[in-house]
Structures are given as C-alpha cells and as structure tokens.
C-alpha cells in the first residue's frame, strides 16, 4: 500500500522536528557533543513525525538509530539509513518461518550530514543512490550558497530512483541563537538551459 507525502507536508514534518530539537535541553560537556546530540534530537523528532504518517497498523515500519521500536521484529534499530520507512509484512502461517517480518518496499530513505563540506555531503548522499526507495531525503547544513553546495550532489541525484529531496537547515551550532528554518529542495524541480537542477520548493 503506497501513501504519498506531499512536499508541503514533508516541509512541515522537517520544521516541526527542528523546532522540537531547538526546544530540547542540551546534553554534553563539549561543543562537539552538544551539536551531535542536537542532531540526534532532530532525528528523533523527525522519526516521530514520519511514524505519525506511516503507522504499523497500515503496514509500515519506521527505523532510526537509537530507536528500539522495531528491534523485536527485525533485530535492529537502524536499517541502512539514518532514518528509513519500509512497507513490511510477515511470513504467513503454514510456511516455514511463519511470523518472521520482512521488507516489501522501501518508501523513504533519509540521510543527514551536518558537516559543512562538499566531501562529507557527497559521502552520505551517495548512500541514497544505492537504495531503491520511492523517496530519498538528504538533510544538510546551510552554507553561504545553498545552490553551490547542492550543485555537485546533482550528479549522483541524476542516477537515483524515485523522488530526491534535500532539506537545508542551520548548523546545529546555531539552533539556539537563530530562528529555525528549513529550505526544502527537490532534484529536477527546475531546468536551466534544458538541464535538470535543484528546485527550491518553499
């Protein structure tokens, strides 16, 4: 069973997750630890948002690091990506392995990388191209020029299946001192001289 998630709703899920992470109390003695924990808080809130849309009752499972919701059925928290949504099923009675959970289809594959270098971004973005998900989302930090930062990611994006999105947020270091925002981009949203490019949706 497929369930579409309009871009506007995706932007709302991201904005809500960022607002929640900004409100969470900081943990950690060093700045690096604080920023890491902020990013994990964001992922936790985003996981909750996806889970509100894609429920187990409707045949979906949402996986994320540090989240134990699927450990009993799948023996893991994370499933290849920082956050992922899969349509799942169980082996029916009367067959060997009855009751075992399995993945039918990848619906969302999400990777986040807040380090503000193109090399780090490319390393994580490449993971999305490896998957067959209907939707792919890359979450990254804002730099001086969002277009220039996203431009090289268009090369692997052109070879990815499904819809490909990029969400640009402030770096976690700024979450307590600036107004939170999310800029949502989609690959192939615009064309420049007949060539596909990133198009901003918000």
- The verdict on pTM exceeding 0.85 is yes
| Domains of the chain: total | 1
Domain annotation covers residue 101: no
Asked if residue 16 has pLDDT above 90, the reply is yes
Asked if residue 142 has pLDDT above 80, the reply is yes
Question: What is the chain's mean pLDDT, rounded?
Answer: 92
d(CA 163, CA 174): 29
Asked if residue 193 has pLDDT above 70, the reply is no
Tokens of 13: 């899920």
As a whole-number percent, the residues of the chain with pLDDT over 90 amount to 78
Domain annotation covers residue 69: no
Domain annotation covers residue 27: yes
Domain annotation covers residue 113: yes
Alpha helices, H only, the chain: 7-23, 31-53, 71-74, 118-130, 146-150, 154-157
Structural domain harbouring 118: 7-54+108-200
Q: Could you tell me the pLDDT band of residue 153, with boundaries at 50, 70 and 90?
A: very high
Residue whose token pair is 């918000």:
202
Tokens of 147: 């277009």
d(CA 23, CA 140): 20
Domain annotation covers residue 144: yes
């Amino acid at each position: 069973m497929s369930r579409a998630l309009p871009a506007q709703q995706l932007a709302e899920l991201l904005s809500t997750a960022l607002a929640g992470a900004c409100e969470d109390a900081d943990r950690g003695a060093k700045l690096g630890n604080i920023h890491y924990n902020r990013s994990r808080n964001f992922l936790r809130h985003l996981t909750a948002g996806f889970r509100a849309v894609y429920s187990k009752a409707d045949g979906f499972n949402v996986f994320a690091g540090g989240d134990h919701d699927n450990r009993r059925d799948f023996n893991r928290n994370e499933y290849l990506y920082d956050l992922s949504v899969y349509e799942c099923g169980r082996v029916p009675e009367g067959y060997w392995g009855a009751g075992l959970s399995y993945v039918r289809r990848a619906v969302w594959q999400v990777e986040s990388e807040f380090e503000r270098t193109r090399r780090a971004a490319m390393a994580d973005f490449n993971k999305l191209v490896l998957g067959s998900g209907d939707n792919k989302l890359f979450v990254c930090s804002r730099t001086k020029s969002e277009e220039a930062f996203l431009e090289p990611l268009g090369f692997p994006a052109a070879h990815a299946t499904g819809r490909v999105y990029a969400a640009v947020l402030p770096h976690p270091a700024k979450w307590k001192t600036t107004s939170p925002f999310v800029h949502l981009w989609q690959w192939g949203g615009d064309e420049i001289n007949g060539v596909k490019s990133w198009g901003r949706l918000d």
